Amino acid sequence: MIELTLAEIAEAVDGRLVVGSSGATSATVVRGISQTDSREVAPGQIFFARRGEETDGHRFAGSAVDAGAALLVVEQEADDRVPQIVVAESTIALGRLATEVVRRVRAGGELTIVGITGSNGKTTTKNLVAAMAERRGASVASEKSFNNEVGGPLTMLRVDAGTRTLVAEMGASAEGEIARLTAMAPPAIGVVLTVGLAHAGEFGGIETTFRTKSEMVRDLPNDAVAVLNRDDPYVTRMAELTAARVRWFGQHPEAEVRASGIDSDASGTRFTLHIGDASRPVVFRVLGEHHVTNALAAAAVGSELGLTLEQIVEALEGATRAARWRMEVMGGRDGITVVNDAYNASPDSMAAGLRTLAQIARPGARTVAVLGAMSELGEYSIEEHRRIGLQAVRLGISELVVVGQEARNLHISAINEGSWDGESVFFEEQDAAFDHLVRTLQPNDTVLVKSSNAAGLRLLGDRLGEAFA
């Protein structure tokens, strides 16, 4: 973070400065980044004490001070050993400070902000864009899936005077949230990947999802760029909603950044990347044909950032996985391949994972799909889990292992479709599923582990990867 005095921070967050017994003054400078978890605080950092549904960060203010926090942002006075700024709401204050820091860096330097949203693929695309941004100078990118009202500002606050690119993943669980993030860090390049049923239970339907995701491009000025997926009909509609120049990516013939000759197997995906009239072959080691869409989006951004086609291809070929627990290839003993893709799951990504499983299996070898629940689908949950069960059978997946009561409809659907002779099995608990798999997996099997993060199957995927390492 850039250097700011306590007085400047208090003004930015609309708070009241209390120096307490610290000996500090309003002119004291703070330069450490911000944290909302007292366990992650390092010396010199700012601790924002937030009230959550399960706990209250004010309870841990003392621990943050013990860890070396230089400043507390609180809703009520806490530990007076360090300066405190008292605000009405800590989460809002966090966003206000991020807004001010980004404003100052943009005014004083050459900061380019890239915002990325979509129902699927945000983190993968963010990681690919970050790898490209590093080639043009110092960059900051969202860590993990820091893309909400807390994670977004924490990422933004890491920029300083030398940062040339901020790559910000921007997610939402309700209308207005992406607009708030883009107001904090106005993108010069706004990317929309897909509009699907992820979080449909919270959004209330596909049209609400469309409106929410379109917030990424609605307020872009005419000197900005909207990078849009020409293959997604909902994203295509967003071209009518933005004043920005539109850059299309996808496999559609109208896409300026597109792919041809796509071929996938267990080692990754090969395709030819076209940017305008130029083209180059790409060996993309991120597993799954559906990730080509993310690669194309990243390539479009890389081109807008001024990278050459050779630099873009080099960055794509340097990626070995989408991210932790996202199409992560594990195992190897007896030719058994475990693909752990259980960090997130929506109907679209679940379907894509099953198609990938069917595509990458060795000829004549078995495919095993270990599936858990897809969260946050609301009224669509039963229908979408049933649809995935049907798809698993129709793709000819050799065995379906369904884990967790919330995913049971998936198992029932597979049985009703015709998977009745042990091809689909159901387990309430992960331990039972693990024991079954260790006992029954055969040489050369390919196993996909897929669920939403809340279902926790990523841990089962790790156990299987270790068991067959």
SS (H, E, C) the chain: CCCEEHHHHHHHHCCEEECCCCCCCCCCEECCCEECCHHHCCCCCEEECCECCCCEHHHHHHHHHHCCCCEEEECCCCCCCCCEEECCCHHHHHHHHHHHHHHHHHHHCCCEEEEEECCCCHHHHHHHHHHHHHHHCCEEECCCCCCCCCHHHHHHCCCCCCCCEEEEECCCCCCCHHHHHHHHCCCCEEEECCCCCCCHHHHCCHHHHHHHHHHHHHCCCCCCEEEEECCCHHHHHHHHHCCCEEEEEECCCCCCEEEEEEEEECCEEEEEEEECCEEEEEEECCCCCCHHHHHHHHHHHHHHCCCCHHHHHHHHHCCCCCECCECEEEECHHHCEEEEECCCCCHHHHHHHHHHHHHHCCCCCCEEEEECCCCCCHHHHHHHHHHHHHHHHHCCCCEEEEECHHHHHHHHHHHHHCCCCCCEEEECCHHHHHHHHHHHCCCCCEEEEECCHHHCHHHHHHHHHHHCC
* 62-87 pLDDT, tens digit each: 999 999 999 999 999 998 899 999 99
> pTM of the prediction?
0.84
* Domain 109-317 matches domain 328-467 at the CATH topology level: no
pLDDT band at 322 (very low <50, low <70, confident <90, very high): low
Lowest-pLDDT choice from 154-158, 329-333, 381-385, 405-409: 329-333
118 marked as binding residue: yes
pLDDT band at 451 (very low <50, low <70, confident <90, very high): very high
318 marked as binding residue: no
pLDDT reading at 199 higher than 60: no
**Domain range list for the chain:** 4-88, 109-317, 328-467
* Amino acid (one-letter) located at 222: N
Q: What percent of the chain has pLDDT over 70?
A: 96
122 marked as binding residue: yes
* pLDDT at residue number 198: 57
pLDDT reading at 202 higher than 70: no
* pLDDT at residue number 203: 57
* pLDDT at residue number 420: 57
- Cα within 13 Å of Cα(351), Cβ side: 15
pLDDT reading at 325 higher than 90: no
* 288-300 pLDDT, tens digit each: 888 999 999 999 9
Q: What would the mean pLDDT of 30-55 be, rounded to a whole number?
A: 90
* pLDDT at residue number 310: 97
* 373-388 pLDDT, tens digit each: 998 788 888 999 999 9
Q: What would the mean pLDDT of 354-365 be, rounded to a whole number?
A: 91
294 marked as binding residue: no
Q: State the chain's mean pLDDT as an integer.
A: 92
* pLDDT at residue number 469: 87
Lowest-pLDDT choice from 136-145, 233-242, 412-421: 412-421
Domain 4-88 has CATH 2.60.40.10: no
Q: Cα–Cα distance between 98 and 152 in angstroms, integer?
A: 9
367 marked as binding residue: no
* pLDDT at residue number 279: 97
Contact 73, 15 (CB under 8 A): yes
Domain 109-317 has CATH 3.40.1190.10: yes
CA angle 21, 25, 26 (to 5 degrees): 130
* pLDDT at residue number 81: 94
Contact 126, 222 (CB under 8 A): no
Query: What superfamily does domain 328-467 belong to in CATH?
Result: Mur ligase, C-terminal domain (3.90.190.20)
* 213-229 pLDDT, tens digit each: 999 999 999 999 999 99
* pLDDT at residue number 416: 87
pLDDT reading at 146 higher than 80: no
123 marked as binding residue: yes
Q: What would the mean pLDDT of 13-27 be, rounded to a whole number?
A: 92
pLDDT band at 201 (very low <50, low <70, confident <90, very high): low
* pLDDT at residue number 339: 92
pLDDT band at 464 (very low <50, low <70, confident <90, very high): very high
pLDDT reading at 107 higher than 80: yes
Contact 356, 386 (CB under 8 A): no
CA 248 to the chain's CA centroid: 21
pLDDT reading at 435 higher than 70: yes
Closest by Cα among 315, 225, 300 to 258: 300
Lowest-pLDDT choice from 84-98, 219-233, 331-345: 331-345
